[in-house]
Chains A and B, each alone.
Chain A
Amino acid sequence: MYVGMMCTAKKCGIRFQPPAIILIYESEIKGKIRQRIMPVRNFSKFSDCTRAAEQLKNNPRHKSYLEQVSLRQLEKLFSFLRGYLSGQSLAETMEQIRRETTIDPEEDLNKLDDKELAKRKSIMDELFEKNQKKKDDPNFVYDIEVEFPQDDQLQSCGWDTESADEF
């Protein structure tokens, strides 16, 4: 039984063979560094990393240990495993993860289909939600006006072309 687990997660990683998520943590009772090996079962190169991460995080046996480990990190670890199972090199997998979790500021999203666009939007939504002031926040103000004068002393945004005719 779980009795008020006191543990501080230090590191969390993945082992490919045999597959397992490994957590290094400090148990606060004795201040000792410990390692917990959580075997990954029924995971193939076709598996959904988000679902696998959620299942592990909600697993009754591991739940309390993984409280401080974000879903996103677990998801990323499963992506490494999936890359390994599909025969990708580590570099290839890292590049793929980078592509899937960041926005390329040069990419023209007008050319994407609905599914790809939704993926990009969900990456952007993370920052939006972080910065969002919601209606039920105690200091919410509906109409916020801030003046940002555009005078001639301003530095250029760097996105305009050099010639005066073009912007």
Chain B
Amino acid sequence: MAEDRTKPSELDQGKYADDNVKIICLGDSAVGKSKLMERFLMDSFQPQQLSTYALTLYKHTAMVDGKTILVDFWDTAGQERFQSMRASYYHKAHACIMVFDVQRKVTYKNLSTWYTELREFRPEIPCIVVANKIDADINVTQKSFNFAKKFSLPLYFVSAADGTNVVKLFNDAIRLAVSYKQNSQDFMDEIFQELENFKLEQEEEDVPDQEQSGSIETPSEEAASPHS
């Protein structure tokens, strides 16, 4: 089960992980993305801030069906001035958590923009819609939100403040990410997989252990980073 949490620092992450997945958090500024992350990870979180890219990376180790899964959560800034860097956020993501604030209509309306952008880069990955801050107004849980229905996406009512459904949300997202990675039919994913295997084979010939260290650099290296 994904609930078994181990402190990432206690594990030499790559070495013991059966697999690794990348989950991205999308949504407007101040909908509570970071607060949700922190509520899920509690004390064990050691985020790595890459403020120039308006990105916070959280590493997490989960157990899914008896396998150790290394999870990279990419928590992104909603601000418009970072829009040009988004291509690298989406790159090779396996699942998406898309958050809005039940107190602010504009954050709900903007879901369509986020979703369009997501599908442009990742047409197939599982996506969960999250209505956050239900502690501020519990009545919203008795209302229907057509956005999720329209795109047949699961809708979770959560509160980062009191904790309602936060752990369930993340554990479900991890499961979806793992199952997507295992079963993906996406053409681009297959190419990436091929490239990755190719790279691994090469590195095994050269320096066997290099691949696992400094994995934090991997995203910007491989992704279309603003530098390249």
Contacts and interface: CB of A to CB of B under 8 A. Distances in A.
- Asked if A and B bind, the verdict is yes
B75 interface: no
A109 B103 contact: no
B29 A107 contact: no
B110 interface: yes
B145 A157 contact: yes
Contact of A141 (B144, B150, B163): B163
A15 interface: no
Given A105-B104, A159-B109, A150 B161 contact: no
A110 B3 contact: no
A123 to B, nearest CB: 10
B135 interface: yes
B140 A157 contact: yes
Contacts of B64: none
Contacts of B146: 156, 160, 167
Contacts, number: 113
A109 B30 contact: yes
A103 B103 contact: yes
B29 A110 contact: yes
Nearest to B155: A150
A167 B150 contact: yes
A124 B33 CA distance: 13
A62 interface: no
A20 B104 CA distance: 39
Interface residues of A, number: 37
Contacts of A142: 42, 163, 167
A103 B166 CA distance: 24
A155 B142 contact: yes
B147 interface: yes
Nearest to B134: A148
B contacts with A: majority SS: mixed
Contacts of B166: 144
B189 to A, nearest CB: 28
Interface string B1-40: 0010000000000000000000000001110100100000
A3 interface: no
Given A109-B78, A159-B105, A145 B143 contact: no
B39 to A, nearest CB: 9
A143 to B, nearest CB: 4
Nearest to B161: A131
Interface in B130-164: 135-136, 140-150, 155, 157, 159-164
B164 A144 contact: yes
Interface in A122-167: 124, 127-129, 131-133, 135, 141-146, 148, 150, 152, 154-160, 167
A121 interface: yes
A117 B29 contact: yes
Interface string A8-44: 0000000000000000000000000000000000000
Contact of B143 (A117, A133, A146, A154): A154
Interface of B: 3, 28-30, 32, 35, 42-43, 78-80, 103-106, 108-110, 112, 135-136, 140-150, 155, 157, 159-168
7 contacts: A105-B106, A109-B29, A117-B79, A128-B32, A133-B163, A142-B42, A167-B150
Given A108-B28, A110-B79, A142-B167, 10 more contacts: A106-B106, A109-B78, A111-B79, A112-B79, A117-B29, A127-B161, A128-B161, A142-B42, A143-B163, A155-B143
10 closest Cβ pairs, A-B complex: A154-B144, A143-B167, A148-B141, A167-B147, A131-B161, A109-B29, A131-B135, A167-B146, A160-B146, A157-B143
